[in-house]
Chain A
Amino acid sequence: MDDTVEMNVSLSQGLRRLPVFLLLDISGSMMGAPVQAVQEGVALFKREVESDTFARETVWIGVITFGRQVSNLTGGLVPIEQFSPPILDAGGYTPLGQAMRLLIELLDRDVKKSQIGGEKGDWKPLVFILTDGKPTDNWQGAREEILKRKDRKIVQVITVGCGPEIDETTLREVAIGPSFRMDADSVSFAAFFRWISQTVKTVSKSLSQPQGESLPTPIPPPPEALQYIP
């Protein structure tokens, strides 16, 4: 008997993913510098997340834009390494409700549930909504549906409003978690995307350490550019 031989043991090939959804407002009011800044921010987000060994292995991203139309630019969830930051074209209204309905479809279709003997389930998805204005359609029903899903999957929805036109009350009502406001300049967008990268990295790390008693998903404190909406 040879004790120096390494153990040869079959292991699961499954992956527990951290789904991250970005819901980005590309309505007409975002035209020009703001949408350009969002585009650069998404690219920054990809670079930052990829730079972290643990996040790179776990984070899968889905991008939904809402403006002229509501689109799922990633076709579902894709690994961060395979994600190509999209070119964004601003215009139209702010159909946040439709975007949230599309999010629900993706949650149903793409987020995996844990099943012993079956697949490794995904971690709780993280959802970030970035908007510069007031929703132009009904979003309350979609939010209610997301809330009802709490028995099955817990989703944290973080809302961030940018620029002077935001409606803080609506932002707070849409969120399932904290809400923030920020300016609509390129520095603020960069700070925002860097912060969500940090959040994703923090969450992907904390995920390997289960939480008892339904503690909320930990998120790092926001940068100065983002202010809590109380």
Chain B
Amino acid sequence: MRDRGFIVGDRVVSHAFETHPEWCAAYGKRGNYTVVGASVVGRLHLRDHRGREDSFLIRSRGEWLLIAAADGLGSARLGASGSSLAVSAYSEYFLGSLPSSPECPTEAKPKFTPLRRETAQPHEEAAEEYGCLFWFRESRKNTPATPVSSQQFDLETITRQSIEHARSIISGWADRSRATMSDFATTLISFLINSRTGLCFGLQLGDGAVVGVRDDESTLLVKPRLTGEVGETPVITQADWQDWVVTGTLSWEKEQLHAVLIMTDGVADDCLYGPPGNILNLFGQDITREIHRSAWPDRSARKLVRWLSTYRSRSSWDDRTMVIVFQ
């Protein structure tokens, strides 16, 4: 049986035509896990007629679900290309390196809700609404699962190899565009879940956040390594990128997670710092509750993109990207 999977989110930026809309939402489902994500252009970029420089992808293969988000730096000439290349190349290589289980988890039969245009646009300046909705048919048969455990492979090594791969892809683009690597400067955050075992693996290189939401608290699942200077972040295109990679492995069940939030700094800055002092807990609980209020993930994705593009927080003007994983 073919190993089915899906890819939703941002495509690699094309020079030939517009592939990086200002507002993008996507969702996916693998096993018991649902993922809803959105990325929106920042207020400042809107005013200056610049595009969105964040990118994200939700991708599955077999029982694996991978989320990648990246923030192309505004100071970099080709930040949007950098972020879209990073999430694409990294996720492709990473999932391709994982042991493939022939099991294709049975999913609930997709309920085809008619696609309707929202009367409320994500932002008043939105000329068009973009989005991607995919359905794959249910597996015709299931073959016995091959148990996969973290002992069988080294996620840390795969991570570094995947970043190397992403860097080589970016380097190739840089050569063809007569640009330098730093023109594509971008951060990279990723979260991997095995939908059968609940094994999770987080990566962070640069700013942003991977937050675990539990009953009573929300915490950073990956503690990023940063320069300590506001406005500066390590990026995957810099020569010493290896020094800035932080990873973490955990179990969804053991950690008693309700949801995991993967976000670029445009959102992270609005929930990591107070006042109030317990803002991360409040934010985690609120987001999880609000996302659960929608019956279907496509509606959650629409709600998320609308909220991200319209919420107001002082001195918060950057592109905003957030992906939420929940059971």
Contact = CB atoms under 8 A, between A and B. Distances in A.
Interface in B257-279: 265-266, 269-277, 279
A14 B185 CA distance: 28
Given A208-B42, A218-B75, A16 B293 contact: no
Interface in A185-230: 205-215, 218
Given A1-B295, A206-B75, A13 B276 contact: yes
A213 B313 contact: no
Given A3-B299, A11-B283, A124-B230, A212 B73 contact: yes
Interface string B160-190: 0000000000000000000000100101000
A12 B313 contact: yes
Given A1-B293, A119-B274, A11 B313 contact: yes
A208 B303 CA distance: 24
B318 to A, nearest CB: 4
B9 interface: no
Contacts of A115: 273
A6 to B, nearest CB: 7
B122 interface: no
Contact of A9 (B185, B228, B272, B290): B290
A212 B71 CA distance: 11
Sorted nearest first, the 5 A-B pairs with minimum C-beta distance are A209-B74, A212-B235, A10-B282, A120-B273, A7-B307
Interface of B: 42, 44, 47-48, 53, 71, 73-76, 79, 182, 185, 187, 206-207, 220, 227-235, 237-238, 265-266, 269-277, 279-280, 282-283, 286-287, 290, 293-295, 299, 302-304, 306-307, 311, 313-315, 317-318
Interface of A: 1-3, 5-17, 53-54, 57-58, 114-124, 151-154, 205-215, 218
26 contacts: A1-B295, A7-B287, A7-B304, A8-B290, A9-B283, A9-B287, A9-B307, A11-B311, A12-B272, A12-B274, A12-B279, A12-B313, A114-B273, A117-B273, A118-B274, A124-B230, A206-B74, A208-B44, A208-B315, A209-B74, A210-B73, A210-B75, A210-B231, A211-B233, A212-B235, A213-B182
